[in-house]
Structure 1
Amino acid sequence: MSLTSMIDTHLHLIDRSALSYPWLSGVDALNRDFPYEEYALQAHRAGITQALHMEVDVSPSDIESESDYIAGLAKREGSLITGAISSCRPEEHGFAAFLDRQRANPLVKGFRRVLHVVPDDLAESALFRENISRLGGTGYTFDLCVLPRQIDKAIALVDLAPNVQFILDHCGVPDIEGDGLDAWRGKISDIAGRPNVTAKISGVVAYADARTWRVETLEPYVHHVIDSFGWDRLVWGSDWPVCTLGGGLATWVAATHALLSGCSDGEKAKLFSENAKRIWNLG
């Protein structure tokens, strides 16, 4: 029996001695170091074979330092890290020069600007949209991290950059604890109609009630994303260490496998590894 390899497309590492994370002071449960060694032990036990590091909203002055830091970890013998999604500031005039500098770092596979922590109109500016369009044809992706109420704005951005591959993080951040299925479901169907968007099955355990959620709690959300996007436009991520707020890495991996019971080996392989390899050109 061969095991399906798992590529974690959403790993966060935190090292407060190396980088500055202003937002951590407001999240006590995550306000500590989460080093590679801690993640790697859990990941190997869970069957994860590769990982993409996802930017952790460091101070703007540390954005490129974060990529350098992750590159150092990736060079370690046996490292799981095979790529990185860098933070960026598309709303700034220096983005084009920033993008040129990233081409020298083969570890960088894409970019993210978390949009639910900034004013809604930031992504509507002409400069932001022009800079996102610069990613077309480069092979770089752009992660969309938005709340359900912002998905319409994300769709507008996607439609203006049809040659850019977008990744919708965390199933579109549904309010599972608040029973937000109806408010979220139609928006997911709408954005799934855009062929240049891939959905990431990640993060959802942090949006459920940590004390009471079960696999059945997550099922309508995860299955709607799968049904809407189809198996060729899905990737999987742990969202470690944020997933520790909802039970931890092993719990989320186990829940994912339970949610996929009845799916074929080929479908699981697309979600867990094949799509990620294709999108980010991973070996």
Structure 2
Amino acid sequence: MSAAKYLTSTGISKVDSHQHFWKLSRGHYNWLKPELTVLYKDFLPNQLERELYVNEVSQTILLQAEESEEEIYFMLGIAEVNKFVAGVVGWVDMEASNVLEKLAHFGESKYFKGIRPMLQNIDDVNWILKDELTPIFEFMIKKQLTFDALIKDIHISNINILAQRHPDLSIVINHCAKPDLSKAPTDFWKNSLNNVAACENVYIKLSGLLTEAPQGPVNVDVIQPYFDHVMAVFGSDRIMWGSDWPVIKLNGDYDTWVSLTQSLLKNYSFEDKGKIWAGNAQKFYRLPAY
């Protein structure tokens, strides 16, 4: 079963801008503990293909799941033999003396799109603004590599500073900066997004929200105020849809998230839907046409 190239019932073939694979025998998944029972198993391409086919997803972006440069080889190997994987975003040691050489090496693959440091897990919220990292961002701009920001609301202001320092750096905030969906959107989250959205080089992923919601079935009304604010400040040109599969299994599934997103977008134009479902991710990650 292939998810590549077909006409869809809606006329919009989707791009999943955020998914993962892992194989437990590889090790290094420090966050993946046995108590996460639904996730503590291998997740590989053959398990995702059904989800993509049923939900008319033609391409995906495969993101890192561990702090290991070895994982990039694992992901690139998957991309080489699975047509639906259109891009890979990996983790590199940004403080290593040879980081630019590593980025140049990985960049030799057409599938390597950029990097994602796990900022949410770094104690120093200001770490990303260290002067020593400036040459890395300059190199990434030169090589047209992207920066995925795995953050929470306390990090948004620093992403704003980073985006202003490097206006040609393509940045995307993951999972809407992980707001707490058990309550109404906070003014802090909303105002922080207001500010960073003023930087035209910053995009945001409509992903990961089910796992930030209270456990159990999630009604669209829970997500609506968050989506409405993101749409108001970023607009349809800088929002990209992603599943966060298989992490989404902690509180939902692929079909549910697609259905909820369709409800969120039901009153928007065909053009706006096309951008959020596919076009923005294709533009941001410089994907080949499917």
TM-score, normalization by structure 2: 0.90
Asked whether the equivalents of residues 185 and 225 of structure 2 are also in contact (C-alpha less than 8 Å), the reply is no
Change (3 A) 1:39 1:172: same
SS at match of 1:32: coil
- Rounded Cα–Cα distance in structure 2 between residues aligned with 1:279 and 1:80: 17
Asked whether the equivalents of residues 174 and 207 of structure 1 are also in contact (C-alpha less than 8 Å), the reply is yes
Task: Tell me if 1:93 matches 2:97.
Answer: yes
1:75 CA displacement: 2.8
- Rounded Cα–Cα distance in structure 2 between residues aligned with 1:124 and 1:278: 26
Asked whether the equivalents of residues 92 and 127 of structure 1 are also in contact (C-alpha less than 8 Å), the reply is no
Partner of 1:235: 240
- Rounded Cα–Cα distance in structure 1 between residues aligned with 2:245 and 2:279: 21
1:56 CA displacement: 0.6
Partner of 1:28: 36
Partner of 1:204: 209
SS at match of 1:25: coil
Alignment of 1:21-100 (within 5 A): 21-25=29-33, 28-29=36-37, 30-58=39-67, 60=68, 63=69, 65-76=70-81, 79-100=83-104
- Name the aligned partner's letter for residue 95 of structure 1: V
1:74 CA displacement: 2.2
Partner of 1:266: 271
1:163 CA displacement: 1.4
Asked whether the equivalents of residues 200 and 236 of structure 1 are also in contact (C-alpha less than 8 Å), the reply is yes
Residue by residue over 1:166-193, the C-alpha shift from the partner in whole angstroms, topping out at 9 and shown as x without a partner, is 0111112111124443331111111101
Change (3 A) 1:149 1:25: same
Asked whether the equivalents of residues 42 and 249 of structure 1 are also in contact (C-alpha less than 8 Å), the reply is yes
1:212 CA displacement: 5.0
- Name the aligned partner's letter for residue 100 of structure 2: A
Asked whether the equivalents of residues 129 and 157 of structure 1 are also in contact (C-alpha less than 8 Å), the reply is no
Task: Tell me if 1:157 matches 2:165.
Answer: no
- Rounded Cα–Cα distance in structure 2 between residues aligned with 1:164 and 1:238: 24
Partner of 1:256: 261
1:263 CA displacement: 0.7
Asked whether the equivalents of residues 54 and 84 of structure 1 are also in contact (C-alpha less than 8 Å), the reply is yes
2:122 pairs, out of 111, 118, 128, with: 118
Structure 1 residue runs without a partner (length 5+): none
Moved more, 139-148 or 175-184: 175-184
- Rounded Cα–Cα distance in structure 1 between residues aligned with 2:213 and 2:167: 33
- Rounded Cα–Cα distance in structure 1 between residues aligned with 2:260 and 2:194: 23
Asked whether the equivalents of residues 129 and 160 of structure 1 are also in contact (C-alpha less than 8 Å), the reply is no
- Rounded Cα–Cα distance in structure 2 between residues aligned with 1:223 and 1:92: 40
1:19 CA displacement: 4.7
- Rounded Cα–Cα distance in structure 1 between residues aligned with 2:71 and 2:229: 34
> Aligned residues: percent identity?
26
TM-score, normalization by structure 1: 0.92
- Rounded Cα–Cα distance in structure 1 between residues aligned with 2:138 and 2:149: 14
How many residue pairs align between the two structures?
278
1:200 CA displacement: 0.9
Asked whether the equivalents of residues 92 and 117 of structure 2 are also in contact (C-alpha less than 8 Å), the reply is yes
1:249 CA displacement: 0.8
SS at match of 1:98: helix
- Rounded Cα–Cα distance in structure 1 between residues aligned with 2:240 and 2:185: 23
- Name the aligned partner's letter for residue 143 of structure 1: D
1:26 CA displacement: 7.1
- Rounded Cα–Cα distance in structure 1 between residues aligned with 2:35 and 2:269: 39
- Name the aligned partner's letter for residue 26 of structure 2: A
